[in-house]
Amino acid sequence: MVLCKKKRSKINSKKNLRNEIFSKIQQFTNFLTFQFGHPNICTHINYAFAFVTDDGRGLRIFEANDFTLYAQIMALKLKNPNLKVILSVGGWTHGTGGFALAAASESSRTTFAYNALTFIKTHKFDGIDIDWEYPGFAGGPKPGKSSDKHNYVPFLQKLKDVFHASSPPLLGLDFE
């Protein structure tokens, strides 16, 4: 799925405001043929999803055609050099398993952050979006532990530190 944040337009009524809010996101699933011909209507695209590896050490693709679709989305930047493409990691079907292992200790957070940075740079993304549903949640496809809630903020802080220290600094984990 690809989410596209549209450029802001002038809103002149409450009705237009509602339409503008609901038109800001366009979605495409990664298991369908990707067709997106107007990259100039967007400022950012979130590509959903990648997964955390089962051992919590890095990232992996979600669908078999993701590498092909990554290249197609990055080609949009040739038409709009200001376009930012962010990789969303996680989602409901991911569960909490790999995230829990990645966040469990200072060492695992550091390993994951640097491996995630390498994956993001290798595939030319501009940043990362973490969609961990939900730290400490005992249900779902891959249940978590109560310690996940305590590890969540240090996990995000490590990612932010590593991504912002990269050259060039990458987006994600804040509202810059």
Domain layout of the chain by residue ranges: 2-165
Handedness of CA 112, 82, 10, 48 (dihedral sign): negative
Contact in structure between 34 and 10 (CB atoms under 8 Å): no
pLDDT for res 49 = 92
Distance CA 129, CA 90 (A): 9
Burial 109-145 (b: 16+ CB within 10 A, else e): bebbbbbbbebbeebebbbbbbbbbbbbbeeeebebe
pLDDT for res 161 = 94
pLDDT for res 127 = 92
Q: Which fold has domain 2-165?
A: TIM Barrel (3.20.20)
Tens of each residue's pLDDT in the chain, 176 residues: 555 555 555 545 545 544 444 444 444 555 444 556 677 777 888 888 999 999 999 999 999 999 999 998 899 899 889 888 899 999 888 888 899 999 999 999 999 999 999 999 999 999 999 999 889 888 777 788 899 999 999 999 999 999 999 988 887 655 44
**25, 148, 165, 5: which is closest to 82 by C-alpha?**
5
Q: Which residues are catalytic?
A: 133
pTM tops 0.75: yes
